[in-house]
Structure 1
Amino acid sequence: MTDESLLASLRHHMLDENEPLAGLLRKCLLLGAETGSDSLRQWARKELNGYDEGDELPSYRTLPLPPLSADTMSGNSWATNMTYSVLQLPAKGREAVGDEFLLHQPVEELEQIATKKSPSFTNGPLSYAEHLWNQELGPFQRVMNLRFIFSGSMFAGVLGQIRTQLVDMIADLTAHTPLAELPRKDAVDAAVSTHIGVQYNTTIQNTSGPAAIGSNAVAKTVGLSIDDAIKLLDSVQNASNDVQDESVKSELLACIQDLRDELQSTEPSTTEIVGKVGKLKAIAARVGGAGLSSAVSGTVEGLTTMVMSGAFG
Structure 2
Amino acid sequence: MTETLLRSLRERLLDESEPLAGLLRKCLMLGAETGSNSLREWARKELNGYGDDDEVPAYRKVEVTIAMDSLSGNYWTRNQTVDRLHMPQACWEYVYDSIDLKQPIEELERLATHGGLSFANSSLSYAQAVWNEELGPFQNVLNLRYVSSGSALTGILGQIRTQLVDLVADLTADTPLTALPHKDQVDAAVQHRLGQAGDVYNTTIHQADGPLAIGAEAKASTEGLTVEDAMRLLDRVQQMAGEVEAGQRSELMDAVAELRDAIEQGSPDTGDVVKKVGRLRRLADRIGVPSVSAAIGGASQALTELAVNGAFN
Q: Which residue identity does 1:45 align to in structure 2?
A: R
> How many pairs align?
209
Q: Which residue identity does 2:112 align to in structure 1?
A: A
Q: CA deviation at 1:56?
A: 1.3
Q: CA deviation at 1:149?
A: 1.4
SS of 2:143 mapped into structure 1: strand
Bigger relative CO (Cα 8 Å, ≥ 6 apart) = 2
| Structure 1 residue aligned with 2:160 | 162
Cα distance between partner residues in 2 of 1:43 and 1:101 = 20
User: Residues 254-302 of structure 1: CA distance to partner in whole angstroms, max 9, x if unpaired?
Assistant: xxxxxxxxxxxxxxxxxxxxxxxxxxxxx999279xxxxxxxxxxxxxx
Q: CA deviation at 1:79?
A: 1.5
SS of 1:79 mapped into structure 2: strand
Q: What do you get for the CA RMSD once the two structures are aligned?
A: 2.5
1:5 aligns with 2:4: yes
Q: Is the 8 A contact 1:114 1:155 kept in 2?
A: yes
For the structure 1 residues 131 and 245, does the alpha-carbon distance in structure 2 shift closer, same or farther, using more than 3 Å as the test? farther
| Structure 1 residue aligned with 2:16 | 17
SS of 1:116 mapped into structure 2: coil
1:148-227, aligned counterparts within 5 Å? 148-197=146-195
Cα distance between partner residues in 2 of 1:285 and 1:36 = 33
| Structure 2 residue aligned with 1:111 | 109
Cα distance between partner residues in 2 of 1:161 and 1:89 = 33
For the structure 1 residues 119 and 99, does the alpha-carbon distance in structure 2 shift closer, same or farther, using more than 3 Å as the test? closer
User: Residues 165-212 of structure 1: CA distance to partner in whole angstroms, max 9, x if unpaired?
Assistant: 01101110011111221111111111110111469xxxxxxxxxxxxx
Q: CA deviation at 1:157?
A: 0.4
- Structure 1, 32-41 or 91-100: larger mean CA deviation: 91-100
| Structure 1 residue aligned with 2:304 | none
Identity of matched residues, %: 56
Cα distance between partner residues in 2 of 1:30 and 1:115 = 29
TM-score (norm 2): 0.62
Q: Is the 8 A contact 2:248 2:287 kept in 1?
A: no
| Structure 1 residue aligned with 2:100 | 102
| Structure 2 residue aligned with 1:85 | 83
Runs of 5+ unmatched residues, structure 2:
198-244, 250-284, 291-313
User: Residues 136-157 of structure 1: CA distance to partner in whole angstroms, max 9, x if unpaired?
Assistant: 1112211122111112111100
SS of 2:15 mapped into structure 1: coil
Q: CA deviation at 1:53?
A: 2.2
SS of 1:246 mapped into structure 2: helix
Deviant stretches of 4+, over 4 Å: none
User: Residues 71-116 of structure 1: CA distance to partner in whole angstroms, max 9, x if unpaired?
Assistant: 1111222111111112323334321233421111111111111111
1:35 aligns with 2:34: yes
| Structure 2 residue aligned with 1:246 | 247
Q: Is the 8 A contact 2:65 2:97 kept in 1?
A: no
Q: CA deviation at 1:130?
A: 1.1
User: Residues 238-260 of structure 1: CA distance to partner in whole angstroms, max 9, x if unpaired?
Assistant: xxxxxx98347xxxxxxxxxxxx
Q: CA deviation at 1:120?
A: 1.3
Cα distance between partner residues in 1 of 2:48 and 2:121 = 20
Q: Which residue identity does 1:246 align to in structure 2?
A: G
Q: Is the 8 A contact 1:61 1:102 kept in 2?
A: yes
Cα distance between partner residues in 2 of 1:52 and 1:195 = 22
Q: Is the 8 A contact 2:60 2:101 kept in 1?
A: yes
Q: Is the 8 A contact 1:93 1:125 kept in 2?
A: no
Q: Which residue identity does 1:74 align to in structure 2?
A: S
Runs of 5+ unmatched residues, structure 1:
200-243, 249-282, 289-313
For the structure 1 residues 284 and 131, does the alpha-carbon distance in structure 2 shift closer, same or farther, using more than 3 Å as the test? closer
